[in-house]
Amino acid sequence: MKPKAILIDTKDNVATAFQELAKGETVTVSLAGTEVTTVLTQDIPFGHKFALSAIGLHEPVVKYGETIGLATDSILAGRHVHVHNMESQKGRGDK
């Protein structure tokens, strides 16, 4: 069956859309006994991430079980997570 989205590690607080997903859609991802259901509050383009739970300002965004950056805004579950609300902690010669 074609999955709507994928959870890569049970520690992750984001999932990755495997289809074009629309605002209002209910998406369930599961991995190794962990199952998370999220109602999307925004359209999520194919390949992009959405929050599975609330992520507070400056809190880590976790994918692959690893921190991939920090939230630059408070992000509610179901929101699109990308360059507009998270940022890298690496390679920041500008900071």
Partner 1 sequence: MEFQGYLRQDGSVGVRNTVALIPASRCANEMACRIADEAGAGVHPLLHNQPCVHVGPDNVMARRVLTGMGQNPNTVAAIVLGIGCDPISAVDIANDIAATGKPVEVLTIEKEGDYDTVVSKGITFAKQMKANAALLSRQPFDLSHIKLAVKCGGSDTTSALGCNPVAGWVVDQIVNAGGTCVFSETAELVGAEHILARRATDPAVGQKVLDAVARTDKRILDAGVDILGSEPTPGNIKGGLTSIEEKSLGAIAKSGTVPLTDVIEWGQKLPGPGLFFMDGSANTPQMVLGLSASGAQMMTFGFGGGLPASFRSMPANSMGNLAILPVLKILSSPKAAREIPYFDVYAGGIIEGTETVAQVGQRLLEEILQVLSGKPTKVELRPRYREVLEMWRLGPVF
Residues contributing to the site for partner 1 (CB under 8 A): 1-3, 6, 8, 16-18, 45-49, 61, 63-64, 66-69, 81-83, 86-95
Task: Name residue 13's amino acid.
Answer: N
Angle at 81 between CA 46 and CA 75, to 5 degrees: 145
Q: How far is the CB of 37 from partner 1 (least distance, A)?
A: 19
DSSP label at residue 59: P
Q: How far is the CB of 92 from partner 1 (least distance, A)?
A: 6
Nearer to partner 1, 45 or 56 (CB): 45
Q: Which two tokens stand for residue 55?
A: 């992520």
